[in-house]
Structure 1
Amino acid sequence: MKLDEPVTGGPCWTELGTTDLEAAGRFYAELFGWRLERDPRQEAGGYTIAHLGDAAVAALTPLYQESQPVAWNVSFAVADADAAVRLVVEAGGKALVGPMDVFDVGRFAVALDPGGAAFQLWQARTFRGAGLLNAPGSLGWVELMTRDPARSRDFYTTVFGWTVNASEHYTQWGVAGADFGGMITMDDKSPPEVPPHWLPYFAAEDVDASAATTTAAGGAALMEPTTMPGGRRIAVLRDPQGAVFGVYRSGDEG
């Protein structure tokens, strides 16, 4: 990721919805060295923020609805959540939640793109989002898995004004040319029951060690540590509760 802080249009936060907040917290604390702080307010519903040092880097939450999957979710920064939701709908997406105020920290919404991938919108007030990006244990890349790349490209460039850096094999998203993520087409090899989705990647000092820690804890390596063309080393992992995320070797930012 070429962004070192949250900017309008770019990814600013990621949060995990999980069935076992305590177990997930222990797992990610071991994996990334996170320090977890649960919001004590009853109306916060158990919302727990993960820190590296003093920097907030991610959040863990219980599942708030029976239909909610165990999954990592990606938030994108917007200047006006209400206006952004209107753009989402006009471009063929759907609004699922909000926009709604979250205490005094910001305004929040959940949406679906035309292919069915969920994402979140965040209008910052007192909380901008992640205080650290690209460092080991923090968010460093986001990737859209979709079955309709052409429509996805039209949708996200319309809603967020993203720049597109496309090669024969891979499409990268950017804000004013600063790439922060990419897009992969889900083909016939993708299980039909897996919906389109956004996948966060976290920086790691050692991708192989991260995969070993995950499998030892009862998770799985869905894609074993692999060195990609250009030297980037990555893996796709599933935590013990079933949430999928990626890791890449710190210093290999796109």
Structure 2
Amino acid sequence: MTEATRRKPGTPCWVSLMVHHLDATQEFYGALFGWRFQPGPQQLGPYVRGLLDGKEVAGIGQLPADRDLPIAWTTYLASDDADDTAETIRCSGGTVAVGPLDAADAGRLVVCSDPTGAVFGVWQAAAHLGTAVAGAPGTPAWNELLTQETESVSKFYKAVFGYELDPVVSADLDLVTLKVDDRPVASLHGVGTSLPRDRGAHWMTWFEVADTDAAARRVSELGGQVLQAPRDDPAGRLATVADPEGAVFTIVRSAGRP
């Protein structure tokens, strides 16, 4: 996919990051992924969109100086009606923290959390349809919720977005793939006591890279951290890393890529 398209409800459509030092963060991701930047809607403060070959990939905003919030990538899930989705989230045991509110003419957004506390966004597209390129290095490749166990939280996401649930039935793996029209779009991964105590349940953004080992070294050179060294996985070769402000993400060279 090389052009932005309107996603069906529940499909991840955008990722964004709120940080304390916007200029330094742009330098990091620009050097790591080759992004260029242009201003985006400023409703929540200074905000830019990262571009690859002129196409929008992800957003980065600056937190107000008095807000000491966790620095983390936020996955946005598509909705045809952000207000209706926000109400369903509340009725299903989730929490709405921001919105619904308009982001200029780009669309309407909600920032919320599921019953386990994992933060995610809801995006009702208008002029801005979301990530406009996929598959290339520097683009979001996958979104996965890391949580203690999937059984209860999968019911929440099914109630809100109508997902088809495809669980792995295994004694040593607690994984549910979320499908829209029989197409895998995201996953829920129960990791039990391996869940980081300082983070709790959270959505993880995976970014495609050309070479996982080289990208992990580059993260360190740019002032970030490698939290889990490059390793082979059925999904490809991946590593868990953090940017200089501590935002954790996964880099992956997806299996099957030429």
With the length of structure 2 as denominator, give the TM-score of the two structures.
0.90
Matches within 5 A, 1:72-221: 72-167=73-168, 168=170, 169=173, 170-221=175-226
Matches within 5 A, 1:63-78: 63-64=63-64, 66-78=67-79
* 1:251/1:57 CA distance change after superposition, 3 Å: farther
Other-structure match for 1:242: 246
Other-structure match for 2:31: 30
Shift of 1:191: 3.1
Cα pair 1:172 1:183 within 8 Å, conserved: yes
Shift of 1:29: 0.7
**Equivalent residue pairs, number:** 249
Shift of 1:187: 2.1
Cα pair 1:111 1:118 within 8 Å, conserved: yes
Shift of 1:215: 1.1
Shift of 1:31: 0.7
Flag structure 1 segments of 5+ consecutive residues without an equivalent: none
* 1:248/1:186 CA distance change after superposition, 3 Å: same
Matches within 5 A, 1:37-76: 37-39=38-40, 45-64=45-64, 66-76=67-77
> Aligned partners of 2:161 and 2:96: how far apart in 1?
15
Cα pair 2:237 2:255 within 8 Å, conserved: no
Query: Which one-letter code corresponds to 2:226 in the other structure?
Result: A
User: Residues 224-246 of structure 1, C-alpha deviation per residue, up to 9 Å, x if partnerless?
Assistant: 11101x36111111011110011
> Aligned partners of 1:46 and 1:161: how far apart in 2?
34
Q: Match of 1:246, SS?
A: strand
> Aligned partners of 1:179 and 1:206: how far apart in 2?
24
Q: Percent identity?
A: 33
Cα pair 2:236 2:254 within 8 Å, conserved: no
> Aligned partners of 2:159 and 2:256: how far apart in 1?
29
With the length of structure 1 as denominator, give the TM-score of the two structures.
0.92
